[in-house]
Copies of this chain bind each other. A is one copy, B any other.
Amino acid sequence: MHESITIKDIAKALGFSTSTVSRALRDSHEISAETKRIVLEYAEKINYQPNPIALSLKERKSHSIGVVVCEVANNFFSQAISGIESIAYSRGYHVILSQTHESFEREIVNVNHLASRSVDGLLVSLSSGTINLDHFKKLHDKGLPIVFFDRIPKEINTHKVASNNFEGAFKATEHLINSGFKTIAHLANAAHLSISTERLAGYKAALEKHQLTFTEDLIKYCGHGGMVFEEVETAVKELLHLKNKPDAVLITSDRLSTCCLTILNHLGLSVPDDLAIAGFTNSNTAELFNPPLTTIRQPAFKIGQLATEKLISIIESKYPVTEFTTQLLDTEFSIRSSSVLSRKPALPDVF
């Protein structure tokens, strides 16, 4: 890739100046039709490609956006990234990927690495290890466009796109209640994440609406979100040994859902008879599970698309953007046998 041709080569070959060539290629009005033709034909012939890095330097714009997620190999995030890529591609932006592995330090390093002017904007889903947002605030104050998605912070005023986690959890919990379950546990990701608090709130609201008392014991947090199997195993076992043993559990994370099902299968427990399950997951195969899993599915692809559109709108805005939105997208609730008792028919879900 060293003998790459530049505008200078064209100028030299054709006897023009570089400015004339540049303008001809850009179809400037101040270049004669004849000159344009000559330049364009020659450029075409030798397959001239403008150097994007030189352009970036000049325009102070890299035409690329950085994506910061905890893990790529995850149903939700890979779908979201697919959405991000689709929009970015169509708008002429490159997508640069980085993973935090739920580590605060890694998030700081990645964000700064991306931000040190090689990226026009950032698309971020917070890591569970994030304990403060200074690294984002600093960049945001400097004027770097940032859009948060899925795991979003309250403290930073910018566009945010996420699922309607409250309603997703509310609906699923209400479904469990309507299906006849009385003691509903809650298995969650790291407690401080927006997805956790919002889903917990939805869960609580559903309990309250149906006059079920909320018990702290029934809430279990798994800080690693299912990445550490033992953590989930302990949590599930603790739930099962409770005096007020739950008959159902709402699981608010993808990996947690599958982990929990695995654990119950290993323990030889029957789902839903011993313990019913409804879980947040973006797996495409929940229907295939044994038993088929009742799921709350997030519109991951759409979330990625919307977040990217909003980011690019900030990037390309002529004037500073000060009005920001937080957009919540509805989740998709699918009732399957993991939450419907086989021995006694379930009550109708509407009532």
Which A residues have a C-beta under 8 Å from some C-beta of B? 1-4, 49-54, 56-57, 60, 62, 64, 71-75, 77-79, 81-82, 85-86, 89, 94-99, 110, 114, 116-118, 142-144, 258, 261-262, 265, 283-285, 287-292, 301
Contact = CB atoms under 8 A, between A and B. Distances in A.
A130 B216 CA distance: 56
A4 B85 contact: no
Contacts of A94: 96, 98, 114, 118
A98 B72 contact: no
B285 A53 contact: no
A3 to B, nearest CB: 8
Nearest to A66: B94
Contacts of A50: 116
A71 B86 CA distance: 11
A17 B74 CA distance: 50
Nearest to A94: B96
Contacts of A118: 52-53, 94
A2 B262 contact: no
- In the A-B complex, list the 3 residue pairs whose CB atoms are closest, starting with the nearest: A290-B290, A78-B78, A73-B78
A49 B112 CA distance: 10
A73 B64 contact: no
A20 to B, nearest CB: 22
B96 A96 contact: yes
Contacts of A291: 290
Nearest to A139: B1
Contact of A73 (B49, B81, B99, B114): B81
